[in-house]
Amino acid sequence: MAEPRSTEAHATKKRPYVYVFGALAAVTALELNVGILGLAHDLQVAALLMMATLKASLVAAYYMHLRYEPRWLILIPFGGLALVAVLVAALMGAGL
Amino acid sequence: MAHGGETGHAEEGHHFTIWPLVAGFGAAIAYAGLVSGLTVLGLGILVFVVGVLGWLRDDLRSPSRAFFGFLEAEPGVVRVSARKLATWMFLATEIMFFTAIIGGSWALRVKTSDWAGPGEILNVPLTGLNTFFLIVSSLTMVEALASIERGDVKRLRLFLLATFALGAVFLSIQAYEYTKLFFEEGLTFASAPHGVSPVYGSTFYLQTGVHGAHVTGGVLALAFATAKAFKGGFTKENHEAVELIGLYWHFVDVVWIFLFTIVYLI
């Protein structure tokens, strides 16, 4: 059975899974000790959310293989995220 | 279905199984029960579960070869597996679902005075450890996939078993936390300690409970995949279920990454 090239690439390329794990563990450790950054509360919240987004992006790109899939595939989860944008806009409009 | 795939032909072996049909009927009856009442709903759920179990048993007994070979979503046009595309579409709906749960809880929080500070009621270190376990389980999951892509069945079994075990550990720690919070600390659906608003407990159990239900589903799927792997059901050529279960499992991890930050750290 002839497999498409992207699947062949899965098997032959070396994937940096352990390095990604290292980054995830390090960021998690930082999140748990975010106090050492000495940030004001609002900045700290923003920093934590950015760290969460970074971790999520690493998992999506490398573990869920989005980095190696056809470019347009990422539009599908981003379609779901579009709802996040709508919700945030609606909540902010409602004064939240 | 017009697509035969590159090598797939129905003649490659009979894979007819009645169980998906049974599961479909069960789901239909369950939906009817949502309107007509609990008895019908219960019956529908029962038939659905029986259908799914029968299907899994059939698959474990005679592990299916890829029926249509590599099934492109649209041959020559959409060069991605149809099943993988469908899985991603399902995950997009899950993103919307969790956005509603977490977003709604956040909206309630913003409007509520008397909220607890981080670590005031919840056990952040223990849950931080639990977060670490879940991240490790994502690593073992992707290594399981990488193993079977190389044809290494032994490592596939090892990593699938590890992923399953880590998922079970995550759930156990959550259950322990729930018990402690609910029965000892006074964090229930309708009350919270230290004069904190009851909305705190209510939204806590909603968000983490819904996530926990998803983890449970993932653990069950992993149990099936592990059993199938040990029966030699996955090969270098046919292992799509490992990839798709993996996608779901990583998604559950991603949701927890945000949940842990929003519920425990902020």
Half-sphere exposure of B165 (CA within 13 A, CB side): 8
Check CB contact of A8 with chain B, cutoff 8 Å.
no
| pLDDT at position A33 | 92
Query: What ranges do the domains of chain B cover?
Result: 1-70, 81-265
The CATH number of B81-265 is 1.20.120.80
| pLDDT at position A5 | 43
Flag if A70 and B141 touch (Cβ within 8 Å).
Answer: no
Better-predicted residue by pLDDT, A22 or A5:
A22
Check CB contact of B128 with chain A, cutoff 8 Å.
yes
Check CB contact of B76 with chain A, cutoff 8 Å.
no
Q: Is the pLDDT of residue A22 over 50?
A: yes
Computed over every residue of chain B, the mean pLDDT equals 90
Contacts of residue A88 in chain B, CB cutoff 8 Å? 103
pLDDT digit string, tens, across residues A25-54: 999 999 999 988 889 999 999 999 999 999
> Model's pTM, two decimal places?
0.87
Which residues of chain B have a pLDDT value below 50? 1-12, 68
Residues 24-43 of A with CB under 8 A from B: 24-25, 28, 31-32, 34
Q: What is the ipTM of this complex?
A: 0.84
Percent of chain A with pLDDT over 90: 56
Flag if A73 and B80 touch (Cβ within 8 Å).
Answer: yes
Contacts of residue B103 in chain A, CB cutoff 8 Å? 84, 87-88, 91
> From the CA of A90, how many Å to the nearest CA of chain B?
11
